[in-house]
Amino acid sequence: MPSTVIVGAQWGDEGKGKIVDLLAQQSDIVCRYQGGPNAGHTIVVDGETWKLRQMPSGVVSGTQSVIGAGCVVDAQVFVDELDLLRERGVDPSIVTLSGNAHLIMPWHVTIDQASERRLGSLQIGTTRRGIGPTYADKASRIGIRVQDVLDPKILRQKIEVALAEKNLWLERIYEVEPFDLEEVWTQYAGFAERLAPSIGDASLVVDQSLRDGKNVLFEGAQATMLDLDHGTYPFVTSSNPIASGAATGIGIGPTRIDRVLGVSKAYVTRVGEGPFPSEIEGPQQAQLRELGGEFGTVTGRERRCGWLDLVALRYAVRVNGMTSLALTKLDVLSDFAELPVCVRYRLPDGTETEHFPAHQSDFHHARPVWETLPGWQQTLDGVSALDDLPGPAREYVEFVSRSLELPIELVGVGAARERVLA
């Protein structure tokens, strides 16, 4: 596996962290290429739970880690996670942070929160960590980058320029308190000492690793359906989680990527607003949420739950150029006698399609066409190989693989690292 992208195939929270952690054992370097502390990775290693927001999951196993230019960084979260690494005996110098990544400034968080409040019933349901406003400023070219903290004069100038505009917005549009230049500057200049040892040339580090024949793992945060360009806009994040984002977000060419492993739950969850055709109606939704522990790592929000959606998954196979799939949390389905799977969408004009609708109105009004597979109704606790799965569980996995015309490489049957069957 010289270079592999791991990408969420649904709306996030597919259990990517655990798969990355597993593959990180065989990797020399793990890279995050987009997103920021809106991601929440829970990884259980040797009974110890790690909850990471900003760092690549590889740090858990002490693997060299990179945060690319395509990421946005909350300096405080980053520094806290450096401390966590130290506390748990991991050398923080394994982390390289791109100087070109953008900093989430305090006004970005305030604007994210205020703008969601203003949108009211039209809100996106963001994680309110300032992600969208930071990427918006990056595109508007008034962002503040990680490397700016290294020069107090440049930093002050950039904060001054940004605040001249932001404070007007904050006071006049959102009717909240403005930020004080002196205070923000002092706080961020203060981060310089903590950030400096981590700042490096992410593109060069990864290029060199690839040239040296090392195994490089690119870890997508969020997921395909939350992709700014190819997801269910506007209910998306503000970056490109899809596999090709790894090339732009790190600064390597697309020809350097050898394989793309998608990660999908054996069912679907979604946090935030937006259409969700296979969402379960009735009490089985709450049952699945409880069984799967489907509450946000970062926000604690209840996740909406649905049965597996093969139309959306087929789309994810396409836009990522997926070469294989990891199917996680199969064990969560063990209690159900029957397992509906969405195999097609019925569109408003009565036609049925296997392909994800290109037009938003078709998607908003799509109804699921179900095929119901038998459940196995027995625990998977003792199962340690794919061949030992109960017949209906194996059939479920094979059904997904056949429908997508894609090999399923890994199957998750429990929370711990070793509960992934290859």
Provide the minimum distance between the beta carbon of 394 and ligand IMP in the complex, in angstroms, as a whole number. 29
314: Cβ contacts below 8 Å, ≥ 6 apart: 354, 355, 356, 403, 404
Provide the minimum distance between the beta carbon of 51 and ligand IMP in the complex, in angstroms, as a whole number. 12
Q: Given the complex with ligand IMP, which of 28 and 273 has the nearer CB atom?
A: 273
Catalytic residue among 41, 102, 108, 230: 41
Beta strands in 232-323 (DSSP E): 259-265, 268-270, 304-306
Query: Residue 41 catalytic?
Result: yes
Helix, strand or coil, per DSSP, at residue 324: strand
Beta-bridged to residue 370, according to DSSP, are 342
Q: How many helices (H) and strands (E) does the chain have?
A: 12, 19
Q: Given the complex with ligand IMP, which of 131 and 149 has the nearer CB atom?
A: 131
Provide the minimum distance between the beta carbon of 189 and ligand IMP in the complex, in angstroms, as a whole number. 27
Provide the minimum distance between the beta carbon of 272 and ligand IMP in the complex, in angstroms, as a whole number. 2
Provide the minimum distance between the beta carbon of 284 and ligand IMP in the complex, in angstroms, as a whole number. 21
Q: Given the complex with ligand IMP, which of 56 and 272 has the nearer CB atom?
A: 272
Q: Go through 366-394 and write b for each residue having 16 or more CB atoms within 10 A of its CB, e for each that does not.
A: bebbeeebebbeeebeebeeeeebbebbb
Q: Which of 38, 13, 54 is nearest to 304 (CA)?
A: 13
Q: Given the complex with ligand IMP, which of 4 and 237 has the nearer CB atom?
A: 237
Q: How far is CA 390 from CA 133, 143, 325, in A?
A: 48, 53, 20
Residue identified by tokens 């230049």 is 181
Give the side-chain half-sphere CA count within 13 A for 188.
30
- Nearest-angstrom CA–CA distance, 311 and 316: 9
Provide the minimum distance between the beta carbon of 240 and ligand IMP in the complex, in angstroms, as a whole number. 12
- Nearest-angstrom CA–CA distance, 286 and 362: 27
Q: Given the complex with ligand IMP, which of 301 and 417 has the nearer CB atom?
A: 301
Q: Which of 150, 77, 148, 151 is nearest to 109 (CA)?
A: 77
- Nearest-angstrom CA–CA distance, 205 and 188: 26
Query: Residue 13 catalytic?
Result: yes
Tokens standing for residue 315: 């789309």
Provide the minimum distance between the beta carbon of 235 and ligand IMP in the complex, in angstroms, as a whole number. 5
Residues near ligand IMP (CB under 6 A): 12-13, 38-40, 124-127, 129, 131-132, 222, 226, 235, 237-238, 271-272
Q: Write the DSSP string, 87-149.
A: HTT--GGGEEEETTSEE--HHHHHHHHHHHHHHGGG-----SSSHHHHHHHHHHT---BGGGG
Provide the minimum distance between the beta carbon of 336 and ligand IMP in the complex, in angstroms, as a whole number. 23
Quick check: 73 and 103 in contact, CB under 8 A? yes
Q: Given the complex with ligand IMP, which of 92 and 274 has the nearer CB atom?
A: 274
Q: Write the DSSP string, 61-86.
A: GT-EEEE-TTBEE-HHHHHHHHHHHH
Catalytic residue among 13, 74, 137, 148: 13
Q: How far is CA 21 from CA 25, 26, 79, 120, 417, in A?
A: 7, 9, 21, 38, 8
Q: Given the complex with ligand IMP, which of 302 and 395 has the nearer CB atom?
A: 302
Q: Given the complex with ligand IMP, which of 114 and 199 has the nearer CB atom?
A: 114
∠ at Cα 227 (225, 229), nearest 5°? 115
Q: Which of 20, 30, 32, 24 is nearest to 68 (CA)?
A: 32
Q: Which residues are catalytic?
A: 13, 41
